Amino acid sequence: MAVTTDCNLKCVYCFEDGIKKIKMPNINIDQILKFFTENFKLETFTTASITLYGGEPMVETDLLLKLSESLKKLFEKYGVKLDLFLITNGTFFSEYAISKLVSSGLRGVQVTIDGPREIHNQRRMYSNGVGTFDDIIKNIHELQKIVPATSIRISIDKSNNYKRKVKNLIEFLKNEIDMSNVMIYLAPIVNTLSNDFTKKNHFTFNEAGTILNEYYDYLLEIKINTLDETSLCPCIAHNANGVVINSDGKLYNCISLIGREKFEVGDIFKGFKPAYTKLLNINKWKECLKEACPFVPLCVGGCHFDSVVNHKDIMKRYCKSKIVSSQWLHILKRNLEIKYGFICLRSLDKKNVKEILIDGGLI
């Protein structure tokens, strides 16, 4: 849920470049609650997981607090546990605001840092050009005192993944921050619709897979928590109980396509358009089945956003098996070695992954 598409930073690779900057009117909150009750069978839910993002959601702190409190009351009425997650650039901190969010169900916060101070400040700066690194580190210390879990995203591309810069950042974080409730999330920058920086500096899937494996092994070596990528599953675009609500009340299947009229699937006032069901049932995965690809349950035929960026057509498949087969299988192998105490001496590929699982007694 995008509380606003406005932001106080001008990051060089922003995927929201070119979309209108708006905030969610207060009147929309009541309409959001009505939309949920009219379009979802809330009495059948056990948990509702909602991510609050932007833009920068903390730009609209009062609105964010009112929204989170309203959502808590709605889901409590139906006996549903509410898990809130906040994606923020980390430049805002209010003990009062974060504490209120935690009381409404905030379970975790994601903050982005893109390298040591000199690298980060070239990539993620305030709108006046001033760097944000020191403010973010200070605020992470404060967040850790209140929020159950913190995720630090490190966006990597060809401009910052050199001369150990990312590893230098990780070493800095390990020495500077209590990492016991922190998880590192490495995120390769991919191509986007309207950003010249990403078009020049993004990684291919092959490159991204190799780099992610290297960092995953490194994080294991120095005993830092990282995302368990073996829990990958289809994203919200393939989830019948999932939807993205933009600041103006427009609905989307894809978090990366908000603000782009062509991909609207309804609004909170009138509900879903037929386009919602159409996009939900895109059958690109059938091509994958014909190729006997074992990764269909993970990616369901690939990312809709990648299809739009690379084919200009959301209906055309953009296969990501190269990154899945290299990264996911590598992480699966390492997890089997670590968690279940046996060593995978064979080269792990999509043809023998079932044999490995059987040998480990997992299936």
Query: Sign of dihedral through CA atoms 31, 94, 84, 213?
Result: positive
Tell me, what's the pLDDT at 192? 75
Q: Cα dist. 102→57, 92, 153, 261, 269 in Å?
A: 15, 16, 21, 34, 29
In whole angstroms, give the CA distance from residue 48 to residue 30. 18
Tell me, what's the pLDDT at 109? 97
For β-strands 47-52 and 271-272, DSSP reports them as unpaired
Single-letter amino acid, residue 340: Y
At residue 339, does pLDDT exceed 50? yes
Q: What is the pLDDT of residues 279-325, one digit of tens each?
A: 877 788 888 888 888 888 777 888 888 888 888 998 899 888 877 77
Q: What is the pLDDT of residues 219-238, one digit of tens each?
A: 988 989 886 554 555 678 87
Q: Give the pLDDT band of residue 52 (cuts 50, 70, 90).
A: very high
Tokens of 95: 């003990």
360 within 8 A of 336, measured Cβ to Cβ: yes
Q: Which residue has the tokens 């995203």?
A: 153
- The average pLDDT across 191-214 equals 84
Single-letter amino acid, residue 264: E
For β-strands 47-52 and 81-87, DSSP reports them as parallel
What domains, with CATH codes, occur in the chain? 27-201 (3.20.20.70), 236-319 (no CATH)
At residue 190, does pLDDT exceed 90? no
At residue 360, does pLDDT exceed 70? no
pTM over 0.85, yes/no = yes
30 within 8 A of 37, measured Cβ to Cβ: no
Q: Give the pLDDT band of residue 345 (cuts 50, 70, 90).
A: very low
178 within 8 A of 224, measured Cβ to Cβ: no
pLDDT, greater one: 76 or 23: 76
Tell me, what's the pLDDT at 2? 94
Q: What is the pLDDT of residues 77-130, one digit of tens each?
A: 999 999 999 999 999 999 999 999 999 999 999 999 999 999 999 999 999 999
The neighbour count for residue 124, using CB atoms within 10 Å, is 25
- For helices 329-340 and 205-221, give the axis angle rounded to 10 degrees: 20
For β-strands 266-267 and 81-87, DSSP reports them as unpaired
pLDDT, greater one: 251 or 239: 251
Tokens of 232: 């990958």
Report the b/e string of 34-58 with b at 16+ CB within 10 A: ebbeebeeeeebeebebbbbbbbbb
At residue 358, does pLDDT exceed 60? no
Task: Pick the range with the lowest mean pLDDT from 126-130, 248-252, 320-324, 343-347.
Answer: 343-347
Phi, psi torsion values for 37, nearest 5 degrees? -70, -30
Tell me, what's the pLDDT at 149? 94
Mean of the per-residue pLDDT values for the chain? Answer: 87
At residue 152, does pLDDT exceed 50? yes
Task: Pick the range with the lowest mean pLDDT from 31-40, 131-140, 154-163, 224-233.
Answer: 224-233
Portion of the chain with pLDDT greater than 90, in percent: 51
At residue 36, does pLDDT exceed 90? yes
Task: Pick the range with the lowest mean pLDDT from 27-41, 222-236, 319-333.
Answer: 222-236
Task: Pick the range with the lowest mean pLDDT from 20-34, 40-54, 65-79, 260-274.
Answer: 20-34
